[in-house]
Amino acid sequence: MPLDKIGGKGVFVKDIEKRLLRREIDIAVHSLKDMQASLPQGLIIGAFLKRDDPRDMLLPCSSMAGCTIETLPKGASIGTSSLRRRCQIKDIRPDIRVIDIRGNIPTRLKKVGSDVDAVILACAGVKRIGLPAGTPIDIDTMIPAPGQGVIAVEVRQDDREVQDIIKSLDHEHTRICAQTERAFLSTLGADCHFPVAAYAILDSNSILIRGMVGRIDEHYMVKKTIKGDPASAGRVLAEMLSEEMEGEGVRS
């Protein structure tokens, strides 16, 4: 069953958040891209660790080693459970067969060469567990999930002691970019129920943000890049893309 049908990526962090609110634990560590756009009342992100590689990575079978999405053989198959990735793959290569697969990284990699010709995973995840690298996908080709490559430390809002302990972990540049991407996500009201992507880069006092919104059937998407105030750029881009989708008669 596709991930969006069982509650989206946030389903994997909700139990941990419940334990945090019940004071069974004092700190929760998450991959930021797996967190809901809106946190449960009483919880905050106390620290954003310095961002790792935000890109996606293509890991093909040995007979297709070195291939990119653009150079995979016609009709090749790629495994992913991500609506965001599926939508962008179909935009780049309509001939590619996209197969729904789930599981941890080793489980997915075992399917390469048997069930699928390649899989797409987050670069950061592959690197963190020390697996051989595949081919990174340029961000202009495939925009990552909001927060991809960022580790977030979630704490209780009223726990000042813990907040003081972890504040040295916070990376300001990453925080600003991540908050811009999450503002984009929050404005759309998107929690993995339709294809959405965002990536922000801080440039002096302004921020550059790329965004993508797609239709849930993956047959239509819009992308746009804007530069603006970090406090509002995410929201502004989300509103622009929503208007463009509605202008085409598409409701995400």
DSSP 3-state of 148: coil
CA–CA separation, 198 and 145 (whole Å): 6
User: pLDDT, tens digit, for every residue of 205-223?
Assistant: 899 999 999 988 888 899 9
> What is the model's pLDDT at position 18?
95
Q: In DSSP terms, which residues pair with 136 in a beta bridge?
A: 57
- Band (pLDDT 50/70/90 cuts) for residue 3 is very low
DSSP 3-state of 132: coil
Domains and CATH numbers, the chain: 3-52+146-246 (3.30.160.40), 56-137 (3.40.190.10)
- Band (pLDDT 50/70/90 cuts) for residue 245 is confident
Task: Give percent above pLDDT 90 in the chain.
Answer: 77
> What is the model's pLDDT at position 47?
98
Angle made by CA atoms 211, 214, 215, in degrees to the nearest 5? 160
Closest CA to 32 of 173, 138, 178, 155: 178
- Band (pLDDT 50/70/90 cuts) for residue 90 is very high
Residue 119 has what DSSP assignment? E
Catalytic hit among 34, 52, 53, 170: 34
Angle made by CA atoms 145, 51, 2, in degrees to the nearest 5? 25
Name the token pair of 221.
């998407």
> What is the model's pLDDT at position 191?
52
Q: Is the CB of residue 180 less than 8 Å from the CB of residue 163?
A: no
- Whether 34 is a known active-site residue: answer yes
User: pLDDT, tens digit, for every residue of 159-184?
Assistant: 999 999 999 999 999 999 999 999 99
Q: Is the CB of residue 35 less than 8 Å from the CB of residue 85?
A: no
